[in-house]
A and B are shown apart, each in its own frame.
Chain A
Amino acid sequence: MSFFLPKLTTKKDIDEVIKAVAEKVLVLRFGRDDDSVCLQLDEILSKTAHDLSNMASIYIVDVDKAPIYTRYFDISYIPSTVFFFNGQHMKVDYGSPDHTKFVGSFKTKQDFIDLIEVIYRGAMRGKMIVQSPIDPQNIPKYDLLYHGI
């Protein structure tokens, strides 16, 4: 949990934020404030938030507060970080099974900064999916389970 990053509690807030952030990357961290990995991630996010303020806006979302988005974004592991640009969802290929969000925490602040920069540049060029600059060793591993309908 960070005292500097703004929190969103309702779907309406999240909608407004997605629509309002213009020409910057929108970072939505889905997780719980008491989870240990979430705390690590939050620390990295809050420490880099000021430096990245021209490129990105970072928000914290509790997965229990907005269940519709938890289902819509298919969040099964926390923390999960979803990226938007001008209301459009940005996909990133990390070398992991799920390109739609970043699962887990970053190893260093620099990894996160690099990732934001790559997303920003890709978005400026009109790309909706970009290649992650983070070393695959530093990406947390998880199994993606398919829930049959």
Chain B
Amino acid sequence: MGAYYCAICNQTTFCGKKKHIFGKNHQSRLRVVLLKFTEKVKEARRTLKRPQVEKFDCTQHKQKFWCYCCGLEVERDVTDDNMTVMYGGLLEHMATREHRNSTYKFWWDNKADPKLRDRVLITEEETERFKAEVAKVLESFVEKEDEYIKQQADVIRAQEKHRQEVFQCLLEPNEERELSNGPSSTDPSVEVSVSSQFQSQVSEQQVGSRFDPIIEAPWTLAGRSLTFIGYQDSSSSGNVHTGAVPPWLQEDPLEGPSGAAAQAEIGPSLQEFLKQKEQEKLRKLPPNRVGANFDHSSHTDANWLPSFGRVWNSGRRWQSRHQFRQEEGQKNKQKRKREHATSGSKTTKPAKQAPSSDI
């Protein structure tokens, strides 16, 4: 009764190995593990009959996989840095004797399903067959690669030839000059027309070094078609090479009398500048503050009253103003009534008495 560590559950059990293995937890984990493992092996088996060989790709082809039975990390593919046999490593490992032994042990220890066991093993006959197939496929792969390289070479040669022909067109008008420069230069120009790789390389070097004199020749040829406008005499005022003042910085001859206005200062005046400063400060204030859009310079008449929420009012503030104006109006009316009453009392009396007599 010791502590036993189960690699599949990643747990330590203290009750004993056998008891733990029959538990539900262990069995379910085991099933998952086996599923994953057999998936990988299935892929590999598909290539048994038809091995896959590919050009070596360093990012993809050096992957390893974990063999649960042996407890080892094994390289999945076999490669010699030029070509890879996909899943070669996996198949090789599965064929070894040690792997066979450890697989049996793993199955017995964990009490896994024996039917699945054969999927993980690969027999010797299968390996022999696989090796033969691999040899064949490798040969054909190598042949294909060679063909591809040859094709590329043809394409490159054709491009080179085209370029030489283009140079020829440039060379032809100057061949007379070239001949006079020296007999040594004619030999490479003749060789240029021969399309062979080695010679084209040499001629390319020669052409590269001679390119500078060639450049001048075409440009001077084309110069015959430009219009000649005369020899510019700038000895009086000087030109850019003598370091004279440029015309746009000189005094404008047209601007004689108005020169004073142009001397006036540019830019905003002091007032505007101060205003701008104030505006900057305002911009920094929060935009949702009270009275943000209050126009401080608006002209209001003598009857203006500020927005005030009166004591016994609830609701909008303009109502208080409204109500106040009403109250003021009523007060004025009452005052006027009293004045009317004192002055017009004599006139009302006879009017009142008349109707009363009718009744």
Contact = CB atoms under 8 A, between A and B. Distances in A.
Interface of A: 11-12, 15, 18-20, 22-23, 71-74, 82, 84-91, 98-100, 122-128, 144, 146, 149
Contacts of A128: 290
Majority secondary structure, B binding face: loop
Contacts, number: 81
Interface of B: 282, 285-286, 288-292, 294, 296-298, 300, 302, 304-312, 317, 324, 327-328
A92 B292 CA distance: 19
A11 B300 CA distance: 12
B307 A88 contact: yes
A22 B285 CA distance: 12
A18 B294 CA distance: 11
A149 B294 CA distance: 33
Given A91-B309, A149-B327, A19 B300 contact: yes
B298 A85 contact: no
Given A11-B302, A100-B309, A100-B311, A19 B324 contact: no
Contact of B306 (A20, A89, A91, A126): A89
B326 to A, nearest CB: 10
B290 A72 contact: no
Contacts of A23: 282, 285, 289
B250 to A, nearest CB: 50
A19 B288 CA distance: 19
A124 B285 contact: yes
A72 B305 contact: yes
B308 A72 contact: yes
Given A87-B306, A126-B290, 18 more contacts: A19-B298, A19-B300, A71-B328, A72-B305, A72-B324, A86-B294, A87-B294, A87-B307, A88-B294, A89-B306, A89-B307, A89-B308, A98-B311, A100-B310, A125-B288, A126-B286, A126-B289, A128-B290
